[in-house]
Structure 1
């Protein structure tokens, strides 16, 4: 609920403080007194698009502050929490416009963007009038209004959940199809490459092992001859000469008085060492034995591994892992058709669930549309529009999270005439009455919003104006309604009454708003009845209107 509005240096207002109450709040005044400026100021602090130049001439800046009272479950609390702004029972909005056009806004003393203000305004206030494109005249909101009237929130949630599941299933199918198409494009390459790799079957580390073995065999060819010649000398020349020398020395050792014992012992040790040398060289020679075809085979495999690695632009040691990757792709391709079939089946099931939920929602909308049409028609009769026709049009539209229905409110003001959009068919006075009847019928769980009706009684008078006023008063029960009016019958229905007036002070035109007591209300309503000259008859009529409250 709007509690207070403080305006400084905007247009023809120097400083204005207003305190509003629950129920029906009425603002009256002569044409041009500044009633629209109040709405412009309120729209400014709520972030709405409006006049470009708002700052009062000669002032450095203009400022508007609005205070709202928030109920415990008010939707504005969620907006504040999402924006990281302080949340309390009192919401204070302040916005400043400098003379050079810069705008700055605060919410509960925290800086915020115009986007946050507009999000809050959607939860705080509704403006209805002949030129309003944010409320009932905006066909983009008609479907949501019908759903609220129908109590279709649970069905709508089912549709949205089904739509999300369908979108997810469709995305999975499309992703699998793209993946399969990409794999199929290289299927021939994959199968050939996997066969080639499987045939070669390279192992990690094999390149290094083959290269070392090849170098060993190549080295063996170079050194084997020299080692063989050395082995021949060790096993034939050296061994024979040392053996012959040992025999000669042993034959004369007995006549040498032990003088040859040490040489013979050393020669024995040398024979042993020589034998070990012969065995070692022999074993090494045996290790150098290989067929020339072994070297050819080694080189052929080594070159094949390296050629395959270059072909696939990987390291030789990564060939086995690369082969596994290609096999996985082939396996995905082979299993992909079944996966795709399963996903397409899941998509069909999700689409069927969505279609069922959407049809239930459509049925609820159709039934509720008929109920709403009847309710609006019942409201139109007391407003002297019993011959008019109101119709909620439901047309097929592209499937989406809100179902498959387009909803638009249409009217026909003359019997037999085709129905058309509210703002295209109805005249000013008729439009106002249509809007009021519709709002009375749609009023439901949005009582936390302040409703503003800007000259919604335009073009009507007498009993019709009285009917408008009574409906506005009924609409304000348990909530808050602000109405700008030129109708004495409507003004008389208000629980609180303000007069907007204009004066010239020191050559400067200023606008002011005055709260009226009962006697002042009689004078103001009498002025509305008779004009500038208030007659006793007009005062009597005004008193009679107030007695009908």
Structure 2
């Protein structure tokens, strides 16, 4: 609910702080006192269009702050999360808007700067404004279906699920058909490329392995003569290892001649062992590095093929295996896509049938709810002196979607035999106000914004009709906070909180002020509304009677 409204330098208001309570609050005052300024100020705080004409003359800017108290399960909390606005626990939610005289404006929510559109979106879940020129709310057919569903507690979940299934299948089928068209168009190219890649059988990492192998073989070609020469030095009758063995045999025959000769023989044996190991390693290295010219030619040819095919398809050589898989999938789509398409088409037929059945059931449910709503509104029309008027909820075929295939619109006929038409086009100003009230009362059981504002909804009526309006407003106020701008003493008498809007003229100019009336002041104000400028004792007595019976 709206707890407080703070206004600074808006039109005729210099400084104003208004505290609001629960239930029905009325704002009264003489014509031209400035009631519209309050509504414009609240609208500014809630993100409506910023008009620099709202800035009080001679001031650089204006500012409006609106403070709301939210329940733990209020829908606005979800909108705050979606907008990324942080709010501390149970702290009030504060809307703030500043406006410069040159036209610039800034918006804040919970102390953080936000787009004005965020204020509008979240503000619309907190406040409903109803008036003769309101082209949103109840007068906007775009919202009538949601209102009917709320009134009838209509469950749209089955239709939403059927719609999701239907749209998913349509999307999948469209994508597959596009792939099929592409595959059919490129079939010859795909068949040739797949055959070419399958024949080559590329492997990931193969290019680097071949490049390393080719480099190693080229390096061996450069050291092959050296390796052959080393082997010649080790082997043969004149080789070093052969000569070492011959020397060892000679030493072995004469080691007894001197101890050093035995030591020399031992050293020579070690040298023979080490030289034998060296000979073995050189031989093994020679064998591992050895290759034939055919091996080098085959490696270079394979490398050439890999790189050539990669250039042809504009990919890296290591991406050729992945490319082959992709082309095989595309070819499979071209060859087997027709079967999958036929399967999806059959599933789509079932989904369309399921959606049509769910939407038809939803239409029937809405028709029943519409009849109930029509009866509820009709019961409110007679007390509001609209006995000759008729109201109906039209449930007609509309664009299919997740909420069904219905278009819902509220229509009225104001005279016997007159055709039905949209509320805003058929009803006159006073009739429109009463139709809105009747509809709002009928819909009230199903929930509304936490704060509702009615702007002169009782204009052009009096007596019993005004009393009926006041009674219904008081009934609505039992469920929501209501603020009503009114000229009707019968409505004002029903209020729990009564505010008087006054325009004062002084040396420093004209100022609009608003103040909460005491019980005595309230009786005097209602008496003024009854009698006009000169308040009589009879008017005071009548005001007292109205307050007693309210």
**TM-score, scaled to structure 2:** 0.78
Asked if structure 1 preserves the Cα contact closer than 8 Å seen for 2:27 and 2:499, the reply is yes
Query: Are the aligned partners of 1:96 and 1:103 in contact in 2 as well (CA < 8 Å)?
Result: yes
**DSSP 3-state at the match of 1:405:** strand
Task: Report the counterpart of residue 362 of structure 1 in structure 2.
Answer: 363
CA separation in 1, counterparts of 2:299 and 2:16? 100
- Return 5+ residue gaps in structure 1 as ranges: 220-286, 291-296
Q: CA deviation at 1:445?
A: 4.3
Report the CA distance between 1:446 and its aligned residue: 2.9
User: How is 1:283-322 mapped onto 2 (pairs within 5 angstroms)?
Assistant: none
Cα deviation for residue 289 of structure 1 reads 13
Q: Secondary structure at the match of 1:106?
A: strand
Change (3 A) 1:339 1:28: same
- Give 1:148 deviation, angstroms: 0.5
1:14 offset after TM fit, Å? 1.1
Counterparts in 2 of 1:299 and 1:466: CA distance versus 1, 3 Å: closer
Q: Which of 113, 126, 133 is the equivalent residue of 2:128?
A: 126
Question: CA 1:118/1:323 → structure 2, altered by over 3 Å: closer, same or farther?
Answer: closer
Deviation at 1:422, TM superposition (A): 0.5
Q: 1:542 to 1:346 in 2, by over 3 A?
A: same
Q: Secondary structure at the match of 2:479?
A: coil
Question: What residue in structure 2 maps to residue 30 of structure 1?
Answer: 30
- Determine helix, strand or coil for the equivalent of 1:140: helix
Q: Which residue of 2 aligns with 1:96?
A: 98
* Aligned match of 2:268: none
Query: In the TM superposition, what are the counterparts of 1:190-269 in structure 2 within 5 Å?
Result: 190-195=190-195
Structure 1 residues 499 and 168: alpha-carbon distance in aligned structure 2, compared to 1, 3 A threshold: same
Summarize the Cα distance change of 1:165–1:416 in structure 2 as closer, same or farther, 3 Å threshold.
Answer: same
Question: In 2, distance between residues paired with 1:318 and 1:106?
Answer: 53
Q: Write the distance in 1 (CA, Å) between the matches of 2:315 and 2:171.
A: 34
Q: Distance in 1 between matches of 2:123 and 2:303?
A: 77
**Aligned partners of 2:68, 2:395: CA distance in 1, in Å?**
37
- Aligned position for 1:484: 485
Q: Judging changes above 3 Å, is the alpha-carbon distance between structure 1 residues 202 and 529 closer, same or farther for their aligned structure 2 residues? A: closer
* Stretch moving more, 23-32 or 157-166: 157-166
Deviates more, 1:433-442 or 1:539-548: 539-548
Q: List per-residue Cα deviations over 1:474-518 (Å, max 9, x = no partner).
A: 110132111001111111111211111101111511111122222
**Secondary structure, aligned partner of 2:345:** helix
Q: 1:461 to 1:97 in 2, by over 3 A?
A: same
Deviation digits for residues 285-340 of structure 1 (CA, Å, limit 9, x no counterpart): xx9999xxxxxx99999999998777656788987775555433222322212222
- Larger displacement relative to structure 2 (490-499 or 346-355): 346-355
Cα deviation, residue 459, structure 1: 1.2
Q: After the TM superposition, which residues 456-475 of structure 1 pair with which residues of structure 2 at under 5 Å, given as runs?
A: 456-475=457-476
- Tell me the secondary structure at the aligned position of residue 383 of structure 2: coil
Aligned counterpart, 1:243:
none
Deviation at 1:41, TM superposition (A): 0.7
Taking the TM superposition and a 5 Å limit, the aligned residue runs for 1:82-481 are: 82=82, 83-87=84-88, 88-152=90-154, 155-195=155-195, 325-446=326-447, 449-481=450-482
1:537 CA drift (Å): 2.3
**Residue 22 of structure 1 contacts residue 478 of structure 1 at CA under 8 Å; is this kept in 2?**
no
In structure 2, distance between residues paired with 1:422 and 1:393 = 12
Quick one: structure 1 residues 329 and 510, their matched pair in 2 at CA, closer, same or farther if it must change by over 3 Å? Answer: same
| CA deviation after TM superposition for structure 1 residue 546, in Å | 1.5
Aligned counterparts of 2:291 and 2:145: Cα–Cα separation in 1: 93
Give the superposition deviation at 1:425. 0.4
Q: Could you say what secondary structure the match of 1:456 adopts?
A: coil
Alpha-carbon contact 2:148-2:366 (below 8 Å) kept:
yes
Task: Indicate the residue corresponding to 1:46 in structure 2.
Answer: 46
Please say if residues 40 and 50 of structure 1, whose CA atoms lie closer than 8 Å, have aligned partners that are also in contact.
no
Q: Confirm or deny: 8 A CA contact 1:433 1:457 kept in the other structure.
A: yes
Deviation by residue 1:394-448 (Cα, 9 ceiling, x = unmatched): 1111111221011111101011111111011000110000000000001134355
SS at match of 1:417: coil
Higher mean displacement: 29-38 or 303-312: 303-312
Offset at residue 530 of structure 1 (A): 1.7
Give me the whole-angstrom Cα distance separating, in 1, the residues matched to 2:12 and 2:110: 27
Q: Which has the larger radius of gyration?
A: 1
**SS of match in other structure, 2:53:** coil
Q: Residues of 2 paired with 1:401 and 1:519: CA distance?
A: 56
State how far apart, in whole Å, the 1-side matches of 2:317 and 2:52 are.
72
Contact 2:85 2:112 in 1 (8 A): no
Give the conservation status (yes or no) of the 8 Å contact 2:34–2:502. Answer: yes
- Aligned equivalents of 1:314 and 1:506: distance in 2? 85
- The residue that corresponds to 1:76 in the other structure is 76
Residue-pair matches, total: 475
Q: Secondary structure at the match of 2:178?
A: helix
Secondary structure, counterpart of 1:532 in structure 2: coil
Deviation at 1:95, TM superposition (A): 1.9
Q: Deviations over 1:254-286 (max 9, x none)?
A: xxxxxxxxxxxxxxxxxxxxxxxxxxxxxxxxx
Partners of 1:54 and 1:307 in 2: how far apart?
74
Structure 1 window deviating more from structure 2 (27-36 vs 471-480): it is 471-480
Q: What is the distance in 2 between the residues matched to 1:411 and 1:288?
A: 99
1:13-54 C-alpha deviation (Å, 9 max, x unpaired): 111121111111011111100011111111111111264421
Could you list the runs of 5+ residues in structure 2 that have no partner in the other structure?
Answer: 222-289
Cα–Cα, structure 1 residues 175 and 539, in superposed 2: closer, same or farther, change >3 Å?
same
Cα deviation, residue 357, structure 1 = 2.3
CA distance in 1, matches of 2:331, 2:116: 55
Structure 2 CA distance for aligned equivalents of residues 5 and 321 of structure 1: 66
* Structure 1 position 381, deviation (Å): 0.8
What do the CA deviations read for 1:202-222 (whole angstroms, capped 9, x no partner)? Answer: 8977x979x99xx99xx9xxx
